[in-house]
C-alpha cells in the first residue's frame, strides 16, 4: 500500500496535468485551444501546468505558424508516456486495495 | 465502496481520452435524412428507367452517349452530395449544441479514414461501369461504403461499426441478378433510417 502511494508521480498530482497527459497519449499532437476545450481551464493555469510538464521533460513544445497565426502544439515524450503509464498502474493498484 | 480520489482520477483520465480521440456528436439526422434521400433517389431512378423503356428510342447502352445513363449517374451524385452536406450540417449543429469544437483531430481523422475506402470504391465503380459490369455496381457500392463506416468507427461512436458490417453483408445478395436495387434500398435507405432513429432515441439532442 505505502509503496503504491510512493509510486504516484508528483508531477501528476493535479487534475489538469492528468488531463493533459491523457489527451497526449491518445493523440499525436494537441494544441493549446484543444486542451482548453477539453478541460475548462483558464489560459494562465493551463500554461503553467504545461510549463511544469515541459520542465520535467514529459512533453515537448512545437511552435509553428498557420499563415500569421501562431500555433503551439504539444507532444508527449517517451519518458512522459512511461511516467504516465506507471502512474496509472499505481492508481489502479490503489483502487484495488481500497476495495 | 466509498468514492476515493484515485477512482475519480481514473474516470477523469478516461473521459479526456474519449473526448479527445473520438467525435461523439454524431447526429441521428445524419442517418435518417440521407436514408430518405437514398430511397427517393432509387424510386426516381426506377421511374426514369421505366419511362425510358417504354419510349421507342430506348437503348440499354451504358455509355455517356446514352442520356438515361447520364441522368442516372447525375441523380446518384446528387443524392451523394446532398447526403454528405446534410450529415455534415447535422453533426456540426449537434457539436455546437454540446459545446464541442467543430474541427478537432478526431473529426479530421474520422473524415480522412472514412474517405479512403469511399474514394477507392469510387475508382473501382468507374471501372465497373465503363466495362458495363452493371451487376457489380450494387455490391461494390455497399461493400466499400461498409468498409468506410468501419474505418470511421474508430474515431466516432463505436456502433457505426455494426452499420458498416450490415452494409458489407448486404453486398452478398446484392450481386444476385435482380437483388441489386432492393439491396441498395435496404443498405442505403432502411439501414440508415433505422440506425439514425435508434441514435436519436439513445441520445436526445
Task: Please report which confidence band the pLDDT of residue A2 belongs to, taking 50, 70 and 90 as the band edges.
Answer: low
* Residue B113 CB-half CA count within 13 A: 16
The residues near B11 (Cβ < 8 Å, ≥ 6 apart) are none
Chain A CA closest to residue B99? A37
pLDDT at residue B205, rounded to an integer: 42
Number of domains in chain A: 1
Residue B16 lies in a domain: no
| Cα torsion B2, B7, B12, B16: sign | negative
Instruction: Give the phi and the psi of residue B6 in degrees, each rounded to 5.
Output: -70, -40
Nearest-Cα distance to chain A for B1, in Å, is 6
Q: Would residue B127 count as lying in a domain? A: yes
Tell me, what's the pLDDT at B203? Answer: 59
Higher pLDDT, A77 or A71: A77
Distance CA(B183)–CA(B202), nearest Å, equals 27
Domain with A18, as residue range(s), is: 2-98
Strand partners, A62: A73
The arithmetic mean of pLDDT across residues A57-65, rounded, is 91
pLDDT tens digits, one per residue of B141-150: 999 999 999 9
Cell of B41: 433517389
Cα separation, B100 vs B96, in Å, equals 6
Residue B125 lies inside a defined structural domain of this protein: yes
Q: Is residue B135 part of a domain?
A: yes
Region A89-96 average pLDDT: 85
- At B176, the pLDDT band (50, 70, 90 cuts) reads very high
The model's pLDDT over A16-56, given as tens digits with 9 standing for 90+, comes to: 999 999 999 988 888 888 888 788 889 999 999 999 999 99
What distance in Å separates the CA atoms of residue A46 and residue B20, rounded to the nearest whole number? 16
Q: Is residue B140 part of a domain?
A: yes
User: Which residue do the cell numbers 440521407 mark?
Assistant: B34
Mean pLDDT for B133-138 is 92
Give the residue, A6 or B203, on which the prediction is more confident: A6
The sign one gets for the Cα dihedral B104, B109, B110, B116 is positive
Q: For residue A95, which residues of chain B lie inside 8 Å, CB to CB?
A: 4, 6-7, 10
Predicted confidence at residue A47, as pLDDT, reads 94
Please state the ipTM of this predicted complex.
0.82
Q: Assess if residue B34 is contained within a domain.
A: yes
Q: Touching check for B19 and chain A: CB below 8 Å?
A: yes
Report the mean per-residue pLDDT for chain B: 89
User: Which residue on chain B is closest to A23 by alpha carbon?
Assistant: B17
User: How far is the alpha carbon of A8 from chain B, nearest alpha carbon, in Å?
Assistant: 10
Residue B12: closest C-alpha in chain A: A19
Q: What is the mean pLDDT of residues B36-53?
A: 93
Nearest residue, CB atoms, B10 vs list A19, A95, A99: A95
Q: What is the pTM of this model?
A: 0.74
Number of domains in chain B: 1
pLDDT digits (tens, 9 = 90+) for B7-30: 888 888 988 888 888 887 888 999
B98 CB within 8 Å of a chain A CB: no
Q: Is residue B109 part of a domain?
A: yes
Which among A18, A27, A37 is the nearest to B21, CB-wise?
A27
Strands (E), A1-99: 30-31, 59-66, 69-76
Residues of the domain holding B187 = 26-202
Residue A43: which CATH number? 1.10.10.10
Give the full edge-to-edge strand order of the sheet including A30-31.
A30-31, A69-76, A59-66
Is the pLDDT assigned to residue B1 strictly greater than 50? no
From A5, which residue of chain B is nearest by alpha-carbon distance?
B6
Chain centre distance of CA B159: 14
Burial class (CB in 10 A: 0-12, 13-18, 19+), B197: middle
Contact, B188 vs B35, CB < 8 A?
yes
- Within-domain flag for B11: no
Amino acid at each position: 500500500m505505502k509503496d503504491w502511494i510512493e509510486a504516484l508521480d508528483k508531477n501528476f498530482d493535479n487534475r489538469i496535468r492528468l488531463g493533459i497527459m491523457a489527451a497526449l497519449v491518445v493523440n499525436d499532437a494537441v494544441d493549446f485551444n484543444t486542451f482548453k476545450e477539453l478541460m475548462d481551464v483558464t489560459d494562465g493555469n493551463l500554461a503553467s501546468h504545461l510549463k511544469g510538464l515541459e520542465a520535467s521533460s514529459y512533453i515537448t513544445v512545437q511552435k509553428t505558424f498557420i499563415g500569421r497565426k501562431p500555433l503551439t502544439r504539444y507532444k508527449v515524450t517517451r519518458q512522459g508516456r512511461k511516467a504516465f503509464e506507471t502512474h496509472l498502474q499505481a492508481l489502479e493498484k490503489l483502487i484495488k486495495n481500497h476495495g | 465502496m466509498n468514492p476515493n480520489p484515485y477512482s475519480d482520477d481514473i474516470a477523469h483520465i478516461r473521459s479526456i481520452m474519449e473526448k479527445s480521440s473520438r467525435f461523439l456528436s454524431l447526429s441521428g439526422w445524419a442517418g435518417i435524412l440521407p436514408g430518405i434521400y437514398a430511397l427517393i433517389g432509387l424510386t426516381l431512378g426506377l421511374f426514369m428507367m421505366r419511362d425510358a423503356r417504354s419510349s421507342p428510342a430506348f437503348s440499354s447502352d451504358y455509355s455517356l452517349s446514352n442520356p438515361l445513363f447520364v441522368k442516372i449517374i447525375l441523380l446518384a451524385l446528387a443524392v451523394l452530395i446532398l447526403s454528405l452536406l446534410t450529415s455534415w450540417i447535422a453533426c456540426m449543429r449537434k457539436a455546437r449544441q454540446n459545446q464541442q469544437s467543430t474541427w478537432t483531430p478526431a473529426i479530421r481523422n474520422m473524415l480522412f479514414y472514412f474517405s479512403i475506402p469511399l474514394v477507392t470504391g469510387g475508382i473501382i465503380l468507374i471501372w465497373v461501369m465503363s466495362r458495363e459490369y452493371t451487376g457489380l455496381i450494387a455490391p461494390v457500392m455497399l461493400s466499400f461504403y461498409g468498409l468506410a463506416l468501419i474505418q470511421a468507427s474508430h474515431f466516432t461512436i463505436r456502433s457505426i461499426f455494426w452499420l458498416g458490417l450490415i452494409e458489407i453483408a448486404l453486398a452478398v445478395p446484392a450481386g444476385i441478378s435482380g437483388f441489386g436495387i432492393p439491396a441498395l434500398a435496404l443498405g442505403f435507405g432502411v439501414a440508415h433510417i433505422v440506425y439514425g432513429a435508434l441514435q436519436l432515441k439513445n441520445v436526445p439532442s
